[in-house]
Structure 1
Amino acid sequence: MNTDPIADFLTRVRNAIRAKHRVVEIPASNIKKEITKVLFDKGFIQNYKFDETGPQGTIKIALKYNPTTKQPAIVDLQRVSRPGLRQYTGATSMPRILNGLGVAIVSTSKGVMTDKEARTLNVGGEVLCYVY
C-alpha cells in the first residue's frame, strides 16, 4: 500500500526523465489523471493515454524532450503538500514558481488547476506540487 500516491506519481516521472525514458507507466487514480491533464495542457509532457484494463488502470505518459539538445521539458517536480503536512493557500497568496516560468498545481473546489488559473478564478486550495 502506498501512503502518498501523488508523491509516487511525481517520483516515477522524475526517475523516467533522469533515465531518459520516452514513456512512463503509472497506476491510475482520478487525482493523477487530473495532474496528467494539467501537465499536458501546459506543455510539460508530449502525450498521455488512460488504460482502463485491470482493477485500477494505468496512465501512460510520453515524456517531452528537446529534439536537438535532448533536454527534458520538465526540469524538476517538487511535492509541496503531503499527508503529514498539508499546504493550503488562498487566491491572493498563491505561489509563483520561477517568476511565472513554472507552475504550481493546485487542488481547488473547482478542480485541479494551475496557480495562474486559480488566481484568475479567485479560488484557493491545496498546493499539490511545483513543476518547472
Structure 2
Amino acid sequence: MALSDPIGDMLTRIRNGQRARKSSVMAPASTMRANVLDVLIREGYIRGYEKVDVRKGIAELRVELKYHEGEPVIREIARVSTPGRRVYSKIKDLPKVYNGLGISILSTPRGVMSDHEARQANVGGEVLCRVF
C-alpha cells in the first residue's frame, strides 16, 4: 500500500511509540524523513536514529525515543503541511510554538531546519510539523 503522506506516517509512528512506552520505533527510510529526524536530534526530542537494511534495497529507520523521568519528551507532534494542503510561511509570519517552548520544522531552500535555525538564517519555507 502506497503512503500518501510519508512524513505524517513517521510522526504517527513516533507518537504511538511514545504512548506505548516503546524504546524505539521503525519507519521506512527516506532522505526527507532522515532530515526531519536530524532536526529532532539537534533539538533534543529524540535520542537518535539509525538506518537498518531490512532486505536488499529496502531500508528502515530505527528511531530511539527519549523519555525524561518516565514521561515522553515529545508531548505533542503534529503535521502542519499535508499533501492536500501545503502550508508555506515567510519567516516573519511564522508563529512561535507554545511561546517558544516548542519548535516548528521547516523545509527551506537551505534544507530542513527548525524555526529557530530558520530565523537565524532569515529564510522561510514549508512548515512540515510542530513539536512540543
Unaligned runs of 5+ in 1: none
Residue 84 of structure 1 corresponds to which residue in structure 2?
84
Q: Indicate yes or no: 2:89 matched with 1:96.
A: no
How far does residue 116 in structure 1 lie from its aligned partner after superposition? 1.0
What CA distance in whole angstroms lies between the structure 2 residues aligned with 1:4 and 1:58?
16
Helix, strand or coil: the match of 1:26? strand
Identity across the alignment (%): 43
Please say if residues 94 and 119 of structure 1, whose CA atoms lie closer than 8 Å, have aligned partners that are also in contact: no
Residue 57 of structure 1 corresponds to which residue in structure 2?
59
Report how many aligned residue pairs link the two structures: 130
TM-score by length of 1: 0.94
How far does residue 75 in structure 1 lie from its aligned partner after superposition? 0.4
Residue 107 of structure 2 corresponds to which residue in structure 1?
107
**Superimposed CA distance per residue, residues 80-116 of structure 1 (whole angstroms, 9 cap, x where no aligned partner):** 0001110000011122101111000000000000011
Residue 6 of structure 1 corresponds to which residue in structure 2?
7
How far does residue 65 in structure 1 lie from its aligned partner after superposition? 0.7
Unaligned runs of 5+ in 2: none
Residue 21 of structure 2 corresponds to which residue in structure 1?
20
How far does residue 52 in structure 1 lie from its aligned partner after superposition? 4.1
Q: How does 1:28-39 map to 2 (within 5 A)?
A: 28-39=29-40
Please say if residues 45 and 63 of structure 1, whose CA atoms lie closer than 8 Å, have aligned partners that are also in contact: yes
What CA distance in whole angstroms lies between the structure 2 residues aligned with 1:52 and 1:114?
28
RMSD: 1.0
Structure whose residues are more often strand by fraction: 2
